[in-house]
Amino acid sequence: MEFALVNGILVNESSLIPRANIHIKDGKIWKISGFQTSIDRDVRKVDVAGAYVSPGFIDLHVHGTGGYDSTGATHTALTGLRKAVTCHGVTTLAPTLLSSATNHTKTFLDAVQSEILANERGAKIVGAHLEGPFLNPSKKGVHLEENLRTPSAEAFDEITHDHLNLIKIMTIAPELEEALVVIGQCKNAGIVSSIGHSNATYNEATAGIQAGVSHSTHTFNSMSSLEARDPGCVGAILSSPNVYAEIIADGIHVHPSNVRLLLRTKGIRRTILITDAVRPAGTQMKEFEMGGIKATIRDGAALTSEGRLCGSTLTMDKAVRNVQSWSDLAIPEIVQMASLNPAKQLQIAEVTGSLVEGKDADIVILDKELKVKAMFVKGVEEYVADTESSS
């Protein structure tokens, strides 16, 4: 397949390039040129009429969207999820599993592996994010305590057996006994260790970072906070230059002022926008269940009967728009946190995450309000907005 997106505003890593053309061939970005450069007459041209041409978004922490729940670990759920996120500009995702029994974790990983091999239409699945089970019960959030495990080399091997290359991120509380051993195992296996659901002191969190933690799961949420005499997890994350920090920019999980604080301390190069979305995201659903946990949607928040947050209803395009409204960042800076940064953390930046010749043609077309008009995965149009319903 060969075509060219013409007359767009290219969103690159540092600036906006107006009236740019992107020539796509065999699923790759073949050539990027200015409007004065002629394109072969036999190449199909798609005029995007001055819309933003952005790298596709990458969501490395998502449980569900569009009525589908990856926790179910079925082909239907994963296929539905990868198609449901396309209308929100997501071209790559890491289905995320909350703490589960070991047998179900293996079922989930098998399902993710099968889905990758099936090569279905929709967003690409890069691998899995295991949010647990080595979490601190005092910061478990909605994770069922019965599914939490004490970290050990043996427990890690049991959970990850035959799936080491599939697991991209594992959320761990570093203060737990032998957690540093597991963090070392992750590092050796090329798995990103993420601090989360943790009550670590600053020193304990720093020890985890020194052992190999390079990521923070939904920063500010379900972790020890910044205190005057013990900066806790948040302080360790903000002060470490080597840790990427996820943030749920929905205005519910984190106050916009804390989003701005994170951006000023970590900077745009170490901040990653995620959704932590659950099944009702992008739908009108009011009740749902995830991993045996029942919750309802109230004023946009996913809440259990006890009032605990249970994931979010956020979508990646909405996260981008929220950060634009809460900050003075330029569009390329915001997009980088939704595309190139997660690509780097997932070690896939050589093939996606930015619009560079030779990379996959993973592209989202955004209107002036940063709403998704269309998106492409490896040059295949996976979504186009209904102009009547989106106007």
| Beta pairing partners, 44 | 3
State the SS3 of the chain: CEEEEEEEEEECCCCEEEEEEEEEECCEEEEEEECCCCCCCCCEEEECCCCEEEECEEEEEECEECCEEHHHCCHHHHHHHHHHHHHHCEEEEEEEEECCCHHHHHHHHHHHHHHHHHCCCCCEECCEEEECCCCCHHHCCCCCHHHCCCCCHHHHHHHHCCCCCCEEEEEECCCCCCHHHHHHHHHHHCCEEEECCECCCHHHHHHHHHHCEEEECCCCCCECCCCCCCCHHHHHHHHCCCCEEEEECCCCCCCHHHHHHHHHHHCHHHEEEECCECCCCCCCCCEEEECCEEEEEECCEEEECCCCECCECCCHHHHHHHHHHHCCCCHHHHHHHHCHHHHHHCCCCCCCCCCCCCCECCEEEECCCCCEEEEEECCEEEEECCHHHHC
Beta bridge partners of 193: 170, 213
Record the tokens describing residue 378, joined without a space: 């490896």
Kindly name the residue from 276, 317, 360, 362 that is annotated as catalytic: 276
Any catalytic annotation for residue 362?
no
Contact (CB, 8 A) for 218 and 190: no
- Active site residue ranges: 276
